[in-house]
Amino acid sequence: METLPLQGVVVADFSRVLAGPYATMLLADLGATVIKVERPGGGDDTRSWGPPWTERSSAYFESANRSKRSITLDLADPAGQEAARRLIRRADVVVENFKSGSLARYGLDHESALGINPRLVYASISGFGSKEGAHLPGYDFVVQALGGLMSITGEADGAPMKVGVALVDVLTGKDAALGIMAALRHRELTGRGQHVEVNLLSSLLASLANQMSNLLTTGVAPQRMGNRHPSIAPYEALRCEDAFLAVAVGNDGQFRKLCDALGLVSLPDDPRFATNAQRVANREELAKQLENVLGARTAADWQRRLQGVGIACGQVNDLSRAVHYAESLGLRPMVDPGGGAAMQVRTPIDFSGHGTAEVAAPPLLGEHTEEVLAWLEDSEQQLSPLVSRRSPQ
């Protein structure tokens, strides 16, 4: 059996909703044993976030919880607390996103946990950090607003708009997984665990890349521009006969290729469009001239023609067509976890020496409680492998 990078690492997952569960799912996909601790009766809130529903749970829950074991513990009960402490003693990693101070009541906060297990990597995920913002509830939508993402998303003359997925939660989950893996490497070198902290607002701000750099360079906050780019043109969605085509032209040579393919051979020598800076200054007129030609054919036709001469472009797909397009390129975007669960989006990491991860269906609430509690009582006992499916080659 192939060994994945995190095989042998035990993760006690006390998180719920998306950022934390997404982080621990990534760790599971990389080989870690993830034990998801849920409250009795309802479990993770996302189990009830539907429709749509699968045969086992909600589609939302299943999007971030494959390849985990689920146990139910009442952390307000001394017996549940003791079981949680035994789990922490056996774990390499703890992940939690409780409201600041909540776990201290149960003796499960990071200081207590590191006292139990000094080699532990304890990761805390919050909305706004552990200082003045510790009391604020952290929801992705609110962070998109407070963190400025909505101010640069949407049409210039439209309302501020959130991104169409809980992107900040996903980015924070990735940051958490990265921090955890770095801390595991630090433990390997020093023998010491540590407390890793990430928060939604900081992850969002760190992800704003060139837009944040534009602010810091000019002192002027970027504004919404729809699908256009503040520094490049043409770099936008242009209307064709039947649909929109995203066109990204990064330099003058690419612009000349685009114009040649469209039959606009004189356009690159027009003083209004000869350089990128001039194209940015005259983007409205440029888009009009390009769409006059693009409107004569379908987006799919133009995609084939323009990609054929090296222009970065693509029809604006819905999610179904996006999956089919990835598959047409020989990529493997999906995996079937079996067990009646819905198809899943595969973690997009491959290792030449390890092949691809096996995945198992997201767990039923408390499905593994007896097995895990027995394992915690007997240090010689091994957890049985999860029934899993290999991602297709």
How buried is residue 151: exposed, middle or buried, by Cβ count under 10 Å (0-12/13-18/19+)?
A: middle
The residue annotated as part of the active site, out of 169, 270, 318, 378, is 169
* Residue 175 bears catalytic tag: no
Amino acid, res. 295: G
CB 151 within 8 A of CB 226: no
Q: In this structure, how many other beta carbons lie within 10 angstroms of the beta carbon of residue 54? A: 17
| Exposure of 27 in the CB half-sphere (CA atoms within 13 A) | 33
User: Are 105 and 25 within 8 A, CB to CB?
Assistant: no
**Measured in whole angstroms, how far is the alpha carbon of residue 327 from the centre of its chain?**
20
**3-state SS, residue 289:** helix
Q: What is the C-alpha separation between 68 and 33, in angstroms, rounded?
A: 7
Whether the bond into 118 is cis, omega within 30 of 0: no
Taking the CA atoms of residue 340, residue 343, residue 344 and residue 346 in that order, the dihedral angle to the nearest 10 degrees is 120
Helix (H) and strand (E) counts in the chain:
14, 13
- Distance from C-alpha of 140 to C-alpha of 46, rounded to nearest angstrom: 14
Q: What residues act catalytically?
A: 169
